[in-house]
Amino acid sequence: MTNQYQRGFTLIETMISMLLGLIILGGTITAYQMISDLREQRDAYYQLQDELMYIHRELSSTVKVAKSVEIKDKGDSLLLNSYPVDDKIECPSFDDGSDYITWMEVGGDNNDRTFKCKAGDERKGLNILPLHSEGNASEEEGAEERAGISSISFECPSYESCGPDEKLKSVVAIVDYYDRKCDPDNKSCKKKTLNFHLSTRNPEG
């Protein structure tokens, strides 16, 4: 009768196998983290696009039907005046019109920043668009990462007469934003600007 010997793994073979397994596991975890970061950046970018499109659409539609516009609060808000008829100008999602409405950016912390449309009549309430968070505190003390809309302001077009409380037929909306999370102190982190030129349909003047 012949004896059969069974040979197992040596210690060196076991250690090599464990090392290769750890390398594969590390690569898998790194790839997963990269995919998660890309997905997060993509979602933030899509959210930013949605906000920019919403702001342009709603500003454009309300300015278009206004009789005139006025830039207030050193460019931080825009007052829209309605025609003196039954069909008044109105904030998005509100059925009742008003003699005037005001678009304004409302400050707040990183978790509570809004772009607001306020009707002339307080009873009609507020229409609020929550803005994507500017950023979260980074690991470095005092540093901050930014993403999303940074500020919204209004200015008079170069061809308009722009005195104090001047009633205008058109206005330029200026939206400053970061299209990715980055540290503003980093030279590669640059704020971008998008200008919307908005005009009323008022045939007068």
Q: Please indicate, yes or no, if residue 104 is contained in any of the structural domains.
A: no
Q: Please indicate, yes or no, if residue 137 is contained in any of the structural domains.
A: yes
Q: Please indicate, yes or no, if residue 164 is contained in any of the structural domains.
A: yes
Instruction: Say if residues 77 and 59 touch (Cβ distance below 8 Å).
Output: no
Q: Please indicate, yes or no, if residue 118 is contained in any of the structural domains.
A: no
What are the pLDDT digits (tens) for 168-180? 889 999 998 888 7
What are the pLDDT digits (tens) for 38-76? 888 888 888 888 888 988 998 998 999 888 899 988 888
pLDDT at 193 over 60: yes
pLDDT at 9 over 80: no
Q: How far is CA 109 from CA 127, 132, 150, in A?
A: 19, 11, 12
Distance CA 53, CA 43 (A): 15
Give the residue numbers spanning the domain of 39: 11-75+133-199
How many domains is the chain partitioned into structurally?
1
